[in-house]
Amino acid sequence: MQIIEQFVKGKYDDEKLCEDAIAVTDDFAAVIDGVSSKTNTQIDDKTTGKIASEILAESLPELDRDMDYLDAFRFLNSRLTGWYEEKGLLDRMREEPMERPSASMTIYSRKHHQIWSIGDCQALCGDYLIYQNLRVDELSSEIRSRMIEFLLQTGYTERDLLKQDLSHEFLEPIFKRQPYIQNRIFNSPYDYTVLDGFEMREDLIRCVPLPDDVDEIILATDGYPKLMRTLEESEAYLNEVLEEDPLCYKVFRHVKGKYEGMVSYDDRAYVRVQL
């Protein structure tokens, strides 16, 4: 495999705060989206999302090329568990899901010619987009959009909300509930799974075989509202969205916007690979 182009950019100018990552080996290519912490917890002066993305990126080269998707994700998940044990945090993380380093991840396996995905990262293979939007995020985005519309019609301006997004006050219960939903079985549309060092919902992990004629793939995190065939096109569309809708509530609905002091609504990672 050969990297054609790649790019990682945080939602802030300080790249140390970026929780997305890319990892590419001879046998695998991956993007990782560290889950933003629902608390102010930092360990070793890093956010939990940053910790998760770094551990998983460093662990990708250790995957055996013959592993199937479940064994691969089990191995990667075990590296997070091992980090908890090394830091003496296993019991704490078992009891407090809100503090766990967690991540979504999409992997291309050269040996199997498959896309493996856990969470909400994206892949574009020819004209085929592989993406699994989380229903809980759809719910939060819908509530936020309606609350912003309400606030704008009752005295606030977009500039006011870019300084302080009051809609988040209505989303806090959902945000705080999410860590207690991940990897659990409720048999609801809101069930979802991530890598967090504990038991995954393996039934929610995607394995997508690719057609033999696919010779190029694009992997990206959800920091791109629409994935294009080139980095330039993907960046251009992102900039159009942020110019027209910096609050991200009408053209592109999201759980947060591009607030003052930010360069985008979320961290982003993009890699295009020739197979």
The rounded distance, in Å, linking the Cα atoms of 230 and 269 is 13
pLDDT band at 39 (very low <50, low <70, confident <90, very high): confident
* 9 pLDDT higher than 90: yes
Q: How far apart are CA 184 and CA 93, in angstroms?
A: 15
Assess whether pLDDT exceeds 90 at residue 41: no
| Per-residue pLDDT at 4 exceeds 90 | yes
Residue 189 has pLDDT above 90, yes or no: yes
CA distances (Å), origin 126, targets 134, 211, 213, 228, 272: 23, 10, 9, 10, 12
The domain ranges of the chain are: 2-133+195-242+264-274
pLDDT of residue 97: 94
Per residue in 125-137, is it b (16+ CB within 10 Å) or e — as a string?
beeeebebebebb
| Pairing state between β 206-209 and 114-118 | antiparallel
The whole-number pLDDT of residue 40 equals 80
- Contact call for residues 28 and 105 (beta carbons, < 8 A): no
Checking if the pLDDT of 231 tops 90, the result is: yes
% of the chain with per-residue pLDDT over 90 = 96
For residue 260, what pLDDT is reported?
Answer: 95
Label residue 257 by pLDDT band (50, 70, 90).
Answer: very high
How sure is the predictor about 194, in pLDDT bands with cuts at 50, 70 and 90?
very high
Confidence band for 51, pLDDT divided at 50, 70 and 90: very high
Q: Residue 96: its pLDDT value, please?
A: 94
pLDDT, position 204: 98
Q: Cα dist. 187→183, 190, 273 in Å?
A: 11, 8, 36
From the options 3.30.70.560, 3.40.630.30, 3.60.40.10, 3.90.650.10, give the CATH code of 2-133+195-242+264-274: 3.60.40.10
Rounded to whole angstroms, the Cα distance separating 49 from 210 reads 30
Q: Answer whether residue 274 shows pLDDT above 90.
A: yes
CA neighbours within 13 Å on the CB side: how many for 43? 19
Question: What's the confidence (pLDDT) of residue 32?
Answer: 98
Residue range 3-25: mean pLDDT, rounded: 96
Mean predicted confidence (pLDDT) in 4-23: 96
Q: How far apart are CA 250 and CA 146, in angstroms?
A: 10
**Residue 73, SS3 per DSSP:** helix
Mean pLDDT on 80-88: 98
Round the average pLDDT of the chain to a whole number and report it.
96
pLDDT value of position 121:
97
Instruction: Please report the beta strands in the chain, taking only residues with DSSP state E, as ranges in sequence order.
Output: 2-9, 20-24, 28-34, 42-43, 46-47, 103-109, 114-118, 122-125, 128-131, 206-209, 216-220, 268-274
